[in-house]
Structure 1
Amino acid sequence: MAETKREIERKYEADDGTVLPDLTRAAGVAAVTDEGVTELDAVYYDTADLRLAAASLTLRRRTGGADAGWHLKFPVATGIRDEIRAPLSETLPGSLAGLVRSLVRDEPVRPVVRLRSRRDVRLLTGKDGGPLAELSVDTVHAQRLTGPGEAAWTEIEVELADGADPAVLDAVGRRLEKAGIRPSAASSKLARALAETGATVPDGPDRVDGTPAPGTAGHAVLAYVRAQRDALVALDPAVRRELPDSVHRMRIACRRLRGALRTYGTVLDRRRTDPLGAELRWLAGELGAARDEEVLGTRLAGRLDALPGSLRIGPVHARLRRRGAGRADEARRAALAALDSARHLALLDALDALLADPPLRPAAAREAGRVLARAARADLDRADRRFGHALALGPGPARDLALHEARKAAKRARYAGEAARPVLGGPAKRLAARMKAVQTLLGEHQDGVVARTALRELAAQAHAAGESAFTWGLLYGREEAEAAAQERELPALREWAAAPALRASLGR
């Protein structure tokens, strides 16, 4: 079973002659206790082309010390990493293998560096005796395992204790620097070991060499596509770890990428990109079930909580929880199965291939502003047409469906604005903002449509179980009233969202 620990630390340079200052003079530190010396032996794993190192991830198997085992570290911010731990075993645990899968794909991870460290530990405590931080003086010997190369150095680590005030790191750091001990330039021991043993870590993701040139439509579109590809890769482990909003963000990355491939069909040949769009739609759908259940459950629970107790008749909260728990678990399993599938890896590989050898059309070599503005305006016109068609229908299921289609078109136009903003500036920003407003209101309307369907099901289940269906019917009526109020706002929203001035700013 893997566990996660938030690691907040600072690193400093040291040598054999470094003398630590009196750290009890650092604000908040009452005592410094010698905890003895520990011998650590860690082997770091990566692919042959160091994909994990390029993404600032470290994967190691370490013996010695209180936390012997497998450790996978994800960067969070400067000096902050999430360390996922798994028990010591001979082979990489599956719980960690899944977390690096989107980066390593089918490439095996193998030992690349061995670090043997002599760790001299001191515990810093406060006036109440509680731990504030752990300071260690590490004497490190690094050996590259994929070729010749060794290095040795001494460094100081100061790691914040769980629940302690991060200000203690600043206080200790000031004392160390006043004593002439300087911050380390290396982000991690592994990064330093690779650099000092001559290993070459890739600078970053793929780039197209020579074409398309900066300032062209092809350059701008591929930059946006690359950013969304990178988001898909980075969010895969976040979804597996159930980090807040990760499913939603990964789903949005799918939609942004799919929208860009469709919007900029004059730049990238759709004969090659349409199959990718279909796969992105599949992935978004697999992820969507989990997100949709979360949104629906939150909405209905909030509606129940807002009712006076006298109107909550029967075991309504219990019934809603039972419904949500089963469906959420099923949706979660489906999302993880999609991420674990060969189909997902094939999609990521296909996106890499697209970026490495993009199917450029003639418009890719043209000035970016004109091409992106024309594409964004086409998406705005499409959204406006769908909006108008929906408003021409009478209330009912057909109109609900048409409004849902208008929402999807508005979302695509919003993403076109976001993609074009680095090139077009204000007009693209206004397009994205207005389409977001349309998307939001139509999204609330669609959430109501979904909620009413669920409320009918809950009412039927309650009735069949001999419970009162009154509360579910009451909520259904309120959802209907809210939908009617939203629909009264739609004509004015359409007029504002596609105003002539916005159209003019996007050119012809």
Structure 2
Amino acid sequence: MSARESLEVELKFDVDAGQPAPDLSGLAPGGAGAPTVYELNATYLDTAGHDLAARRITLRRRTGGTDAGWHLKRPTTHSDARHELAIDFTDAPADGGVPAPIRDAILAIVRDQPLIPVAEIITERTVTLVHGADGSVLAEFAEDRVLAHAHQSQRTQEWAEWEFELVDGDAELLPAARKLLRAAGARKAASVSKLARAIGSEPHTHKPTRLRKKPTALDLMVHSLATHRDSLVAWDPLVRENAFDAVHQMRVTARKLRSILTSFPQILDPASIAGLSDELRELGEVLGEARDREVQLEINRELLAQESDVPADLRTALIDDEIASQERALRTLRYALSTPRYLSLLNTLDRVITDPVPGPDADRAAAKVAVAGIEHARKRLRKAEKWLTALEPWSAEWVEQVHRIRKRAKAVRYTADAAKPLDLKTATKTAKQAARIQTHLGHFQDTVVNREQLTRVSAEPGLSARAIFVLGRLDAREETRGRAAVQAYLDEN
């Protein structure tokens, strides 16, 4: 199924009905074309509780205009931009159902809830194209007369609005367009989208929890879990499309959730979260496989980039085969994110956040519990570091202990990060110290894993003599890099 992804960058304004549009010809060297009128008929879908609209996400099935089909729009970090996923009707299911790529992108939010029509919106749109000197379309200006009917409230509304959307133009065009349209009577849009205005979703917009001035340990726990749950859900669609750094960030989020539960075991009733930590660990492992393949491929490319004459069989073993492994890991990950088990994990997190069962430490001051949790994690780290001094440097046991220190430093960091909303100096300082240890020993662990792979590749039958020679050189470089990383850790400790 063919899907088009794009970044929609536009200005949106409210105007009085019948407000004449300004002359756009001065905005760009190629002037403005003749207006074209379209009638657009859109059905917007959401859950009964408007879970998509609450996150400023819109899903519609629209006919008319030049882009009829299914459209999913999600917010970005820029106020004037939205991520759009579009699928033509010719590529959509014949039964009229929501296309799979779109359903996958919102599965972590919708889960097993049905998507139902929540609004019908008819738009009479007058489009004027703004051209560059070469005739290219830089932007599209739309004058919209809107008639909207919300199913739940049975309310019908009419209004007018203007939209100025970039096509092939760059953002430098926006300030001039904003100034011109404002001068012509345009006002700041009252809603982020036509659907939001139709159903009145703004009062119910999904927002992260906030801590009160003197939070209890339970307050901190719920706040932390909610923050990372929202992050997990936000990274989900990006992981499915293998966006840059998405797998890594979702893996970190899953680990932080698990760390919060294990670092503060008495805040929530143990029976109420039984199995949750294990499920988060399993999620982290399937994310980890895809992430490890991603890292391995990146390291292999960097190593071979430093070689002037790489034999074809070695490039196949270190690059082509690794790409195939990464693709398999991503397929497995996408499958895992579509299983009832994963959706059940999200539902459990929701339940724990909205209806937490207090444990013995629930009513204690958050700061006291956080400091105790951080100190406990630091003691475990110091104990692991002490054991390292009793082992033979660079022996197998010593290398394994270094790996254990890295994992315990990570636990310290995540525990301290959970206390950051409390603005505790000790938490900030401890998190930075642990992050440095994690970084140095993480680089070392990468070399350990990579050298093991180089050894496996060198044992493959039929490998050319030149490939084996280059592998030896790569291994030597990785050994040097690993020792430098460990030395950097030891110098700081």
| TM-score normalised over the length of structure 2 | 0.93
Is the 8 Å Cα contact of residues 207 and 355 (structure 1) preserved in structure 2?
A: no
> What is residue 25 of structure 1 aligned with on the other side?
26
1:385-396 mapped onto 2 (5 Å cutoff):
385-394=383-392, 395-396=394-395
Letter matched to residue 116 of structure 1: I
2: CA distance, partners of 1:35 / 1:200 = 33
Secondary structure of the corresponding residue to residue 461 of structure 1: coil
Is the 8 Å Cα contact of residues 135 and 157 (structure 1) preserved in structure 2?
A: yes
Deviation at 1:73, TM superposition (A): 0.5
1:237-276 mapped onto 2 (5 Å cutoff):
237-276=237-276
1:101-500 mapped onto 2 (5 Å cutoff):
101-162=107-168, 164-195=169-200, 202-204=204-206, 214-307=214-307, 309=308, 312=310, 315-394=313-392, 395-461=394-460, 463-464=462-463, 468-493=467-492, 495=493
Is the 8 Å Cα contact of residues 25 and 32 (structure 2) preserved in structure 1?
A: yes
Runs ≥4 residues deviating over 6 A: none
Secondary structure of the corresponding residue to residue 91 of structure 1: coil
Letter matched to residue 183 of structure 2: K
Letter matched to residue 449 of structure 2: V
CA distance 1:385–1:424, shift in 2 (3 Å): farther
1:52-63 mapped onto 2 (5 Å cutoff):
52-63=52-63
Matched, 1:8 2:9: yes
Gap regions ≥5 residues in structure 2: none
CA distance 1:490–1:274, shift in 2 (3 Å): farther
Is the 8 Å Cα contact of residues 48 and 116 (structure 2) preserved in structure 1?
A: yes
Seq. identity, % = 34
2: CA distance, partners of 1:298 / 1:207 = 37
2: CA distance, partners of 1:106 / 1:405 = 39
Is the 8 Å Cα contact of residues 46 and 111 (structure 1) preserved in structure 2?
A: yes
Letter matched to residue 164 of structure 2: V
Deviation at 1:427, TM superposition (A): 1.7
Deviation at 1:144, TM superposition (A): 1.4
Deviation at 1:115, TM superposition (A): 0.4
Secondary structure of the corresponding residue to residue 31 of structure 1: coil
> What is residue 95 of structure 1 aligned with on the other side?
101
Deviation at 1:404, TM superposition (A): 1.4
Deviation at 1:176, TM superposition (A): 1.3
Gap regions ≥5 residues in structure 1: 496-508
Is the 8 Å Cα contact of residues 239 and 246 (structure 2) preserved in structure 1?
A: yes
What CA deviation, in whole Å up to 9, does each residue of 1:174-212 have, x standing for no partner?
0111222222121111111112xxx6863426869xx99
Is the 8 Å Cα contact of residues 209 and 227 (structure 2) preserved in structure 1?
A: no
CA distance 1:207–1:38, shift in 2 (3 Å): same
Secondary structure of the corresponding residue to residue 138 of structure 2: strand
2: CA distance, partners of 1:202 / 1:103 = 15
Letter matched to residue 395 of structure 2: G
Deviation at 1:382, TM superposition (A): 1.0
> What is residue 69 of structure 2 aligned with on the other side?
69
Aligned residues: 485
Letter matched to residue 331 of structure 2: R
**Alignment RMSD:** 2.1
What CA deviation, in whole Å up to 9, does each residue of 1:210-237 have, x standing for no partner?
x998522221221111101111111111
Is the 8 Å Cα contact of residues 12 and 162 (structure 2) preserved in structure 1?
A: yes
CA distance 1:333–1:150, shift in 2 (3 Å): same
2: CA distance, partners of 1:129 / 1:485 = 56
